[in-house]
Amino acid sequence: MPISAMTAVVTGAGSRRGIGRATAHALAAAGWNVAVLDLDEAGAKETADEVAAAHGVAALGAACDVTDDASVDTALATVTEALPPVGAVVNNAGITSPVPFLEVSDAEWERVFAVNVRGAYHVTRRLAPGMAERGFGRIVFLSSVSAERGGGVFGGVAYSAAKAAQLGFARALARELGPSGVTVNSVAPGLIDTDITGGALEGERKAALLAGIPVGRNGRVEDVADLITYLCREETGYVTGATYDVNGGSHIH
């Protein structure tokens, strides 16, 4: 089945300057129809409208709280009814948390894991069976350099732990779904200029951060979106269980 006859689901793609919206555009430019899910319904619909107008594909935006079973069911029912079969899932929805471990509360720890890990589980668990049944699928997790180097960028221990959990999730799932034609990979961005990091990238703080990046600049959302789109290609069927770093060389291991 050609990519133009399939849909890519991107979670957390409502933010105007986020990786999710850039990914929705990049996937659509490659021929995918796109379903945008976000807690912010207006943002999701705005992304979908932009994508459809720019790339001539079918796109829809729907409200979705990935931490809530019923909300995920409702959103995906809308996707299934309105768009072609799902062939790709990008688990982009996530939240960060800078709270130091000795100050973190149970509620904060659970909140970070609920969005980053349980949210990815809810969406993937519902869509993976269909992809396996059809014999084709591409699943991408948005992890973080914080999972690999142990924080030290923006997120604290809860964030690093949750993003590391995504890496284990993806690797084990890759083993299970490989025989069914479904690949599962992770992308670990470093410092990317988004709404989340933008305010911290000014003046001396920005100069200090950039000094540690060999390519001499912070990342752009397109840098991440292009890699995700590559991993979702039909031709990228022999790459699975891998973690791709997008950090300008700031963390080399």
Are residues 52 and 44 in contact, defined by beta-carbon separation less than 8 angstroms?
no
3-state secondary structure of 100: coil
Question: What stretches of the chain adopt beta strand conformation (E)?
Answer: 7-11, 33-38, 59-63, 86-91, 137-142, 182-189, 243-246
Residue type, 16: R
> d(Cα 148, Cα 68) in Å, to the nearest integer?
28
Residue 223: which residues within 8 A CB-CB, separation 6 or more? Answer: 189, 192, 246
Beta bridge pairs of residue 246: 189
Give the residue numbers annotated as catalytic, written as ranges. 159
> d(Cα 120, Cα 94) in Å, to the nearest integer?
9
The count of other CB atoms within 10 Å of the CB of residue 164 is: 18
Are residues 234 and 3 in contact, defined by beta-carbon separation less than 8 angstroms?
yes
Strand order in the sheet with 59-63: 59-63, 33-38, 7-11, 86-91, 137-142, 182-189, 243-246
Residue type, 196: I
Name the token pair of 38.
């976000």
Residue 12 Ramachandran class (φ > 0 left, ψ -120 to 50 alpha, else beta): left
